[in-house]
């Protein structure tokens, strides 16, 4: 066994797969190279700012890039948020806009919402702008990539959450206590659906007017520009706004 371990260790060393990543990243920065960091998990699964205790064990917000890579906050020049046009969650935890009806089933089916690692069906619901705004506050998004807009193409009516009430009072921030989430009342803004396919559209101007209204409202509510819009699963299924 010791001999096998030694052989594996020597092979790994020869592949040069392990090194000083902090030093490497900073050497690239000093050469003027751009570095793209992709995070995992949603912002509200963050161990500090998420819907505790239904969170992951690490920092899924932008601060995790600093602590995980050994870079200073001043090194981060752009922060892009990736947001679905509706909302999903895997496993237990608060989900005020969850749809436990045919609409939710349609979102799950059309969007092919199945957990990548678990294989479990994702819970689906309307986009929660109240929570998205909090995510934008925490992360300081400079632009948003709005994905899977095409999943909403067939819906006659589309809603977004714009606020919460708890015990009759309007909330200015998400609940801090886990038990309070069960008693939250959601306030919605309702949109008429565009009921036409967006899958082959590649420019902003080609999108149906009602579709553009939906996107612009999201942009206005969270005060972050939506620069990219995904309208299908393919790499080229993308609208880029200048």
- List, for residues 165-218, the tens digit of each pLDDT value: 999 999 999 998 999 999 999 999 999 999 999 999 999 999 999 999 999 999
Indicate the pairing of strand 143-147 with strand 157-166.
unpaired
123 with 90: CB under 8 angstroms? yes
Binding residues for IMP: 41, 56, 120
Indicate the pairing of strand 238-240 with strand 123-125.
unpaired
**Tens-digit pLDDT profile for residues 4-29:** 888 888 888 889 887 899 999 999 99
Give pLDDT, residue 4. Answer: 85
Which tokens go with 127? 């986009």
Residue 40 confidence class, pLDDT cut points 50, 70, 90: confident
Please, which residues have CB within 8 angstroms of residue 235's CB and are 6 or more apart in sequence? none
Please, which residues have CB within 8 angstroms of residue 172's CB and are 6 or more apart in sequence? none
Please, which residues have CB within 8 angstroms of residue 84's CB and are 6 or more apart in sequence? 111, 127, 146, 147, 148, 151
Binding residues for substrate: 116-122
Average pLDDT for residues 128-134, to the nearest whole number?
A: 98
User: Between 116 and 79, where is the model more confident?
Assistant: 79
Give pLDDT, residue 13. Answer: 84
Written as one string, the DSSP assignment of the chain is -HHHHHHHHHHHHHHT----HHHHHHHHHHTT--------S-GGG-TTTSSTTSS-SS--STHHHHHHHT--GGG----EEEEESSEEE-SSS--TTB--SHHHHHHHHHTT-B-TTT-PBPEEE-EEHHHHHHHHHHHT-SEEEEE-GGGGTT-SEEEEEEEEEETTEEPSS--SSGGGGGGEEEEEEEEE---S--TT--SGGGS-HHHHHHHHHHHHHHT--EEEEE-SSSTT-EEE--
Average pLDDT for residues 145-169, to the nearest whole number?
A: 98
The yes-or-no verdict on residue 110 having pLDDT over 90 is yes
Binding residues for GTP: 122, 148-150, 230-232
**Tens-digit pLDDT profile for residues 48-90:** 999 999 999 999 999 999 999 999 999 999 999 999 999 999 9
Question: What's the CA gap between 224 and 143, in Å, rounded?
Answer: 6
Give pLDDT, residue 17. Answer: 81
- Percentage of residues of the chain with pLDDT beyond 90: 87
Report all structural domains of the chain as residue ranges with CATH numbers, in order of start. Answer: 1-35 (no CATH), 39-77 (no CATH), 78-242 (3.90.170.10)
Give pLDDT, residue 232. Answer: 97
Which residue reads 């998004």 in tokens?
Answer: 141
Binding residues: 41, 56, 116-122, 148-150, 230-232
The yes-or-no verdict on residue 104 having pLDDT over 90 is yes
Give pLDDT, residue 102. Answer: 97
The yes-or-no verdict on residue 224 having pLDDT over 80 is yes
Residue 97 confidence class, pLDDT cut points 50, 70, 90: very high
Residue 30 confidence class, pLDDT cut points 50, 70, 90: very high
Residue 2 confidence class, pLDDT cut points 50, 70, 90: confident
Give pLDDT, residue 1. Answer: 65
């Amino acid at each position: 066994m010791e001999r096998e371990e030694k052989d594996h260790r020597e092979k790994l060393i020869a592949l040069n797969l392990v090194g000083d990543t902090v030093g490497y990243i900073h050497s690239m920065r000093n050469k003027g190279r751009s570095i793209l960091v992709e995070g995992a998990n949603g912002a509200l699964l963050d161990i500090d700012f998420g819907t505790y205790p239904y969170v992951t064990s690490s920092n899924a917000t932008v601060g995790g890039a600093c602590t995980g890579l050994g870079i200073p906050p001043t090194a981060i020049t752009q922060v892009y948020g990736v947001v679905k046009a509706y909302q999903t969650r895997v496993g237990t935890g608060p989900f005020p806009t969850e749809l436990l009806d045919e609409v939710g089933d349609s979102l799950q089916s059309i969007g092919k919402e199945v957990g990548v690692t678990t294989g479990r069906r994702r819970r689906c619901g309307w986009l929660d702008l109240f929570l998205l705004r909090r995510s934008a506050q925490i992360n300081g998004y400079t632009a948003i990539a709005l994905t899977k807009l095409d999943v909403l193409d067939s819906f006659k009516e589309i809603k977004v959450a714009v606020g919460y009430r708890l015990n009759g009072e309007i909330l200015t921030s998400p609940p801090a206590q886990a038990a309070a989430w069960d008693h939250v009342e959601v306030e919605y803004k309702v949109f008429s659906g565009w009921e036409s396919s967006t899958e082959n559209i590649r420019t902003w101007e080609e999108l149906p007017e009602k579709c553009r209204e939906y996107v612009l409202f999201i942009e206005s509510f969270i005060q972050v520009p939506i620069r990219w819009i995904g309208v299908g699963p393919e790499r080229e299924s993308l609208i880029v706004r200048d």
